[in-house]
C-alpha cells in the first residue's frame, strides 16, 4: 500500500519535471537567430528551408526524449538543449551532402554490394552520361534521315557484337526482363522449371511469383538437388510454351546433385518439342571470361547462346559492371516480339542508363583494356599481391596513432550481388582496434564520417578490405583513421 502511494508521488513528480523540461525547448525562430546556425545557410549553401527542417527535427527529437523520461534530459537548461540541437544540425551540415543518396567508401571488399549500389560506373560511362544529358541528344532521332528514330536500336549492335546474339533489347532491370519475357512469350502457356532453380533473389523477387504475375503457368519438375532430362520430358504437355532455366547465382547446392545444362536442353528440345521456347535467366551474365582468370565458373553470355537457349536475360549492374538494366539477347523473331509488346514502353530505359550502358558495352567490344577501365571488373580481378602492396603503403602512414592498434591482415572478399556465392577472393586489408572503444563503436564512428566508411566487423576489430578502396580513396581512409585516433 505504502509502496504504491510512494510510486504515485514519484510518478507525479516525474510529470512535473517533464513539463518543466519541455518549457526549456527553444523555438526554431530563436535558434535561427544564432549566427552559428545562420551562417550555414550562407557559407555552406544549405537552403534556409532545409535548415529549418533540420532544426525542427532536432527539437522534436529532444521533445520525445524528454517525454520518454530519458536520463540525459532530466534537468536540462535551455542552453544545453540549444547546444545539443546546434550540434545535431552541425552534423548534418557536415554530412557531406544535402542529398539522401550520398557517396560512401566501401571497405567491405564486396565488389557488387547490393546495399551500396552494386557496380560503380567507369569514367567513360559517366562522361557519356554527362554529355548526352547536359545537351539534347539523338535518343529517338535518326540523324541520317532527319526523322524519328528508335531508342531501342541505340545499343543493339553493341550487344550483338558482345554476345553473338541475332538481336537484343534492354529494359529497366533483369527482374523486368524476366517478367517481360514470360508475359510476352509464354502468357497462358505452361513453363517448365526445375525445382532446383525456383529461386528467390533478395527483396521479393521469386521466380514462382513473377511467373504468376506474368500469366504463365509454372510446371515444376525434378527435385531440389536433382533434375534429369527425363523429368523435363515428363513435364511436357500440349500446352507447354517454354522451358526456363534459371542460373542459381546466389546459392550453391553441393554434394549429391544433378542438373541439365542449356546445351543438353537444346538438344532435347530440338528433338522432342521443336515448338517449345528455351529461355535462360542468367542473372549475372558475364561478358568477361572470369573462369579463365581462375574466378568462378560463370558462363559467358556468348556460350549460353551458342547451341543453348533461344533467348537469355541478365543484369546490367552485376558482372557486366554497367548501370542497372536488364539485357535480353537471342533470336531475332523473339526480340522483335518483345520490342513490339506494350511492356517495352512500360519498362524502357531512360537516356542516363542508355548512355552508361552504351559506353560500358563499347569498352567490352573495342577496348582491350576494358578489364582495367570498368571498376567492377578491375576490382574482381585485382591481384592479392597488388592489394597487399597498397595496404602496406597506407599502413606506413598510420604510425604514431597512439590510441589505435592497426595491423595488416589477409582475408577473403566476396563478389557480391548474389553472384558466385562460394567464390572467395583472397585479399588484404587493415584490422583496426581502438583503446577504450568497442568494435561496434568504431564501426559507428567511421560510418558517421564524411564520406562514410563502411567496414566489416571481423574477430574483435574492424576490417577495411582494400579490394574495394580505390587508390584515390586511400588518403580519405587514412584521414578517417587519424580522426578516429583523436576521438
Ligand atoms: C539478380 C538476378 C535477377 C534480378 O536481376 P536485377 O537486375 O536485380 O533485377 C534475376 N534472376 C537472377 C538469376 C538473378 O541472379
Q: What is the percentage of the chain residues whose pLDDT exceeds 70?
A: 95
Q: What is the pLDDT of residue 338?
A: 98
Burial class (CB in 10 A: 0-12, 13-18, 19+), 176: buried
Grid cell locating 422 = 562460394
Atom of ligand 1 minimally distant from the CA of 315: 7
Q: Is the pLDDT of residue 16 over 70?
A: no
pLDDT range class, residue 1, cuts 50, 70, 90: very low
Domain residue limits, the chain = 3-93, 105-116+381-486, 123-373
Residues 404-419, mean pLDDT to the nearest whole number: 93
Task: Indicate whether this model's pTM tops 0.85.
Answer: yes
- CATH assignment, 123-373: 3.40.640.10
| CA 370 to ligand 1 centroid distance, Å | 23
Higher-confidence position of 284 and 477: 477
From 172, 201, 209, 214, mutation site for ligand 1 pocket: most ligand atoms within 8 A of C-beta: 201
Q: Is the pLDDT of residue 2 over 60?
A: no
pLDDT range class, residue 35, cuts 50, 70, 90: confident
CA dihedral 149, 332, 249, 210 (to 10 degrees): 80
> Residues 121-151: pLDDT tens digits?
999 999 999 999 999 999 999 999 999 999 9
Name the E strands within 238-354: 240-246, 277-283, 311-315, 326-330
| CA 283 to ligand 1 centroid distance, Å | 5
| CA 174 to ligand 1 centroid distance, Å | 5
> Residues 305-344: pLDDT tens digits?
998 999 999 999 999 999 999 999 999 999 999 999 999 9
Grid cell locating 418 = 548474389
| CA 419 to ligand 1 centroid distance, Å | 10
Atom of ligand 1 minimally distant from the CA of 418: 15
Q: Which of 111-120, 247-256, 309-318 has the lowest mean pLDDT?
A: 247-256
| CA 281 to ligand 1 centroid distance, Å | 8
The residue whose grid cell reads 533461344 is 310
Residues 451-476, mean pLDDT to the nearest whole number: 96
C-alpha pair distances (Å), 330 with each of 26, 156, 267: 65, 11, 17
Residue with the nearest Cα to atom 2 of ligand 1?
A: 283
CB of 176 closer than 8 Å to CB of 316: no
91 phi and psi angles, rounded to 5 deg: -55, -45
199 phi and psi angles, rounded to 5 deg: -90, 165
Helices 78-93 and 48-67 sit at what angle, rounded to 10 degrees?
130
Q: Give the class (CATH, top level) of 105-116+381-486.
A: alpha beta
Name the E strands within 31-79: none
Mean pLDDT over each residue of the chain, to the nearest integer: 91
Residue with the nearest Cα to atom 15 of ligand 1?
A: 283
DSSP code per residue over 434-474: ETTS-HHHHHHHHHTSSS-EE-EEETTEEEEEGGGS-GGGH
From 176, 203, 283, mutation site for ligand 1 pocket: most ligand atoms within 8 A of C-beta: 283
DSSP code per residue over 403-420: TEEEEEEEEEE--BTTBS
Q: What is the pLDDT of residue 27?
A: 92
Q: For ligand 1, which residues put their CB under 6 angstroms from it?
A: 173-175, 178, 201, 205, 246-247, 249, 281, 283-284, 315, 326, 418
Residues 212-239, mean pLDDT to the nearest whole number: 94
Residue with the nearest Cα to atom 3 of ligand 1?
A: 283
Task: Please tell me the distance from the alpha carbon of residue 483 to that of residue 487, in angstroms, as a whole number.
Answer: 6
412 phi and psi angles, rounded to 5 deg: -125, 140
Residues 72-92, mean pLDDT to the nearest whole number: 88
Query: Residue 483 half-sphere exposure, CB side, CA atoms within 13 Å?
Result: 15
Amino acid at each position: 500500500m505504502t509502496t504504491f502511494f510512494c510510486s504515485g508521488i514519484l510518478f507525479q513528480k516525474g510529470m512535473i519535471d517533464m513539463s518543466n523540461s519541455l518549457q526549456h525547448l527553444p523555438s526554431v525562430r530563436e535558434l535561427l537567430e544564432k549566427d552559428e546556425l545562420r551562417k550555414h545557410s550562407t557559407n555552406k549553401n544549405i537552403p534556409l528551408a532545409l535548415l529549418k527542417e533540420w532544426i525542427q527535427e532536432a527539437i522534436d527529437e529532444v521533445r520525445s526524449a524528454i517525454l520518454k523520461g530519458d536520463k540525459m534530459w532530466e534537468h536540462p537548461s535551455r542552453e544545453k538543449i540549444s547546444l545539443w540541437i546546434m550540434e545535431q544540425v552541425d552534423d548534418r551540415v557536415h554530412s557531406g551532402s544535402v542529398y539522401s543518396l550520398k557517396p560512401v567508401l566501401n571497405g567491405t571488399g564486396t565488389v557488387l554490394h547490393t546495399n551500396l549500389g552494386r557496380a560503380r560506373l567507369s569514367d567513360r560511362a559517366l562522361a557519356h552520361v554527362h554529355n548526352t544529358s547536359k545537351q539534347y541528344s539523338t535518343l529517338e532521332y535518326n540523324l541520317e534521315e532527319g526523322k524519328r528514330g528508335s531508342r531501342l536500336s541505340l545499343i543493339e549492335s553493341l550487344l550483338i557484337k558482345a554476345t553473338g546474339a541475332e538481336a537484343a533489347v534492354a529494359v529497366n532491370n533483369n527482374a523486368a526482363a524476366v517478367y517481360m519475357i514470360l508475359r510476352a512469350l509464354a502468357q497462358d502457356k505452361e513453363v517448365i522449371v526445375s525445382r532446383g532453380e525456383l529461386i528467390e533473389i533478395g527483396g521479393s523477387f521469386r521466380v514462382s511469383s513473377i511467373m504468376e504475375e506474368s500469366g504463365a503457368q509454372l510446371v515444376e519438375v525434378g527435385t531440389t538437388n536433382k533434375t534429369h532430362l527425363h523429368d523435363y520430358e515428363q513435364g511436357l504437355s500440349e500446352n507447354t510454351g517454354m522451358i526456363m532455366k534459371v542460373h542459381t547465382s546466389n546459392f550453391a547446392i553441393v554434394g549429391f546433385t544433378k542438373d541439365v545444362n542449356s546445351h543438353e536442353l537444346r538438344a532435347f528440345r530440338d528433338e522432342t518439342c521443336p515448338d517449345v521456347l528455351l529461355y535462360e535467366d542468367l542473372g549475372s551474365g558475364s561478358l568477361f571470361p572470369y573462369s579463365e582468370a581462375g574466378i568462378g565458373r560463370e558462363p559467358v553470355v556468348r556460350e549460353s547462346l551458342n547451341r543453348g537457349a533461344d533467348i537469355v536475360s541478365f543484369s546490367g549492374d552485376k558482372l557486366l559492371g554497367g548501370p542497372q538494366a536488364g539485357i535480353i539477347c537471342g533470336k531475332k523473331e523473339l526480340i522483335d516480339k518483345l520490342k513490339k509488346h506494350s511492356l517495352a514502353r512500360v519498362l524502357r530505359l531512360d537516356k542516363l542508363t542508355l548512355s552508361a550502358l552504351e559506353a560500358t558495352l563499347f569498352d567490352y567490344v573495342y577496348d582491350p583494356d576494358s578489364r582495367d577501365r570498368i571498376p567492377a571488373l578491375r576490382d574482381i580481378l585485382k591481384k592479392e599481391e597488388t592489394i597487399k602492396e597498397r595496404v602496406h603503403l597506407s599502413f606506413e602512414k598510420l604510425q604514431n596513432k597512439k590510441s589505435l592498434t592497426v595491423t595488416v591482415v589477409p582475408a577473403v572478399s566476396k563478389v557480391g550481388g548474389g553472384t558466385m556465392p562460394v567464390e572467395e577472393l583472397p585479399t588484404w586489408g587493415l584490422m583496426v582496434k581502438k583503446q577504450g572503444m568497442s568494435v561496434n563503436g568504431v564501426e559507428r564512428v567511421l560510418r558517421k564520417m564524411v564520406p562514410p566508411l563502411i567496414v566489416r566487423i571481423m574477430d574483435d576489430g574492424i576490417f577495411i578490405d582494400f579490394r574495394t578502396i580505390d587508390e584515390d580513396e586511400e588518403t580519405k581512409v587514412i584521414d578517417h583513421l587519424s580522426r578516429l585516433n583523436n576521438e
